[in-house]
Chain A
């Protein structure tokens, strides 16, 4: 009995579909922080370079190529 339940805790191998959605959200967030050059920024802020400038130091430090 105990073995069956203990094994059942870890055998669910297939990931649920929403995990891939979460992954795309994460990639989108990384894009906003490190790559956005106006595509997103012009929609959420007054300047198309707002996100680019706001995350300037973080982007350099993450090591993403920048200007």
Chain B
């Protein structure tokens, strides 16, 4: 008996000691996920669905990770919620005559959290580091040939070619500024030094789970600091996220599983809608190299007519989205509302077109299928094409092999969800132009390349006109078969206001504030 008692005492002591370790971890880690619901002045607890890949300015990511970057850094320019460019670190900017030299005037009253003053030197070093860095968006600066400081507050960017996206790029991760002497310091990945409104609290942060930030007391623009503390709490599990919302632990959050949105609304949260991506078939083999049938425009049009977009939206997007047949964003000057309904669901018309093209008996096409998308989705897509005699042979691939397989030009077509912009120039460089990443079979036509060239070098009006023509051409020639634009569902509680950001997955940090 005595020994048993002693064993129990030892076990208890061990438990307490370990619990003590956990407590000690409070210094080095242990976010509490608390602080929700107290709106003004105090803590903003924000549910995010992606941990920070890095805090290093030169490798910084965007979209779902934008709050991390915006907390600790400032960007040269800023985009308003409609994606119009506004001053930030740079107060004025001017292009030369042929749009190859961009001169920016910077503020002189901004300091980094290490106490040093932010100068044009820092901005130049940051831009060049980002261009050579590991961010997936490093190509935003592909046309930047050089960046140099003319004096303390004058920054001159030399472009290898005109880049209509340059100003808006500088509002995103490409425009963030870190101290010149630290841009290549590996420590920046975990202990960033910037001039932003908040400072990463490495003691309270648990990397990958919760990121805690304290207010930067010396911030140059205090009116943008709506809170004393910012907690970015990572949720990858939809159940946990829903529980946190229903328990009132979050002020604002992105949503992992859209079918939980009604329950979140029932818990008193407001749904803030915006759009970012298009979802649908990428018909990449427009030359008919892999599947000759796809080289015929009537076949590609038939695929578009065969799609019941409402049904696809209900199944794949839980009804949150807008059916469409174009890949240009509603905020683009090239967007055309008519092109949302260019191909009505019409199986007979689709069959007719196939027959005209000589494929009345249909044909077979191989597409990749990944387990990260629900099986019912793949079945529904195959069923839609089966109605007109097209047989889909799915090739099962791991989630990690899905994108590489597509980009290695292994498949004639595939389902995917791609970003729409934010600008026409970026959209065309991303998924239309011959060398675009998402044009793996490198198909193009002279008129398409010409429109893209006009978007790059033409005046604003010329570019808008070219964009419109390009958009209509892509739809009429069925370069793709879009299903819908999924709604970005961002939830905010009763005490918090969040203004959705055009062209981004989540609102910008300063647009989330107490009501």
* A and B part of one assembly: no
Which residues does B use to contact A, with CB under 8 Å? none
Which residues does A use to contact B, with CB under 8 Å? none
